[in-house]
Amino acid sequence: MNHHRRRFVAGFLAVPVTLYTVYVLSPCAQALVIALTDWRGVNAVPRFVGVDNFRRLLGDEVFLRAAGHNLLLLALVPPLTIGLALLFAWLLTGDGTARRTVRGAGLYRVVFFFPQVLAVVLVAVLFRQILRPDGNGMLNAPLTALGFAPVGPLADTDLALWAVLFVLVWQAVGFYVVLFSAGIASIPRELFEAAAIDGAGGGRLFLRITLPLLRDTVQAGWVYLGVAALDVFAVVWVMTAEHGGPDHSTTVMAAEVYRNAFHYSRFGYACAMGVVLFVITTGFAVLVLRLTRRERIEFR
């Protein structure tokens, strides 16, 4: 019986494992090999250079700046998005005792979730038009009509990255509002009622019951948002001036990978950047999962 079961499982997994190996593991391995060469394109003959590309990265001011931007987004996007989503979900779902909710909570959830159904490129184009620095943007048109000087966060080297941060949080928070609302609604009402009888208020109910029972969901969301913050290619490339400007003030590692590969034909160097990005992303995911690991809480 066990032999037949293993054969069934092996046969069931053969196709997906093969596809994953061909389309995921194989390109990753090829990228690592190319990162050790100076390959410059399809017709060029690659020359093995060892770790020279990685040494160059240590002195590449633009790449180091891009890595710093990614790390800043990594530090801010997950906590801001999850914090806002938890707050909105708690307000819309109630405290679990009287199930007090905002009137029209279902409509609010739809409104919150709406940005999630928009393509990332569409969101970037939308905010590029909203935040355009001249008087024709959706932000500056009313300001100009009222006699105020137009503002241009995307044209300001000190504000452009914060505009990107705002867009990332704006698009992502709605999905987690819906996700956390469903999680809160699935928690047995008896747990909240028992704690309320013992004198726990709304804040304590959230901190002692709601948040611990949502920990696994929050953990997964933190990893996903962290990976998104380390990627963030489409928003930066479409939304910002000079595809990461002005003056490289919003560039990120993924943008530099694309720029070096397809603008400068430095494919070996671009693959080295990609390998560094892969290592950072994987390390972040492993670190979060290990730091937040605990025994699973089950309730009936």
Predicted pLDDT of residue 1: 52
Name the pTM for this structure: 0.87
Q: Could you tell me the residue ranges of all domains in the chain?
A: 35-291
Predicted pLDDT of residue 228: 92
The more confidently predicted of residues 75 and 216 is 75
pLDDT in tens, 164-198: 999 999 999 999 998 888 888 888 777 777 777 76
Neighbouring CB atoms inside 10 A of 102's CB total 13
Distance, CA of 18 to CA of 20 (rounded, Å): 5
Residues 48, 37 contacting (CB under 8 angstroms) = yes
Predicted pLDDT of residue 225: 94
Average pLDDT in the 53-67 region?
94
pLDDT in tens, 84-128: 999 888 888 866 544 555 677 778 778 888 888 888 999 999 999
Residues 289, 220 contacting (CB under 8 angstroms) = no
| 202 pLDDT more than 90 | no
Distance, CA of 119 to CA of 125 (rounded, Å): 10
| 214 pLDDT more than 80 | yes
Beta-carbon contacts of residue 226 (< 8 Å; ≥ 6 apart): 74, 77, 78, 281, 284, 285, 288
Arch. (CATH architecture) of 35-291: Orthogonal Bundle (1.10)
DSSP letter, residue 242: G
246 by Cβ neighbours in 10 Å (0-12 / 13-18 / 19+) ranks as middle
pLDDT in tens, 221-275: 999 999 999 989 999 999 998 888 889 999 999 999 999 999 999 999 999 999 9
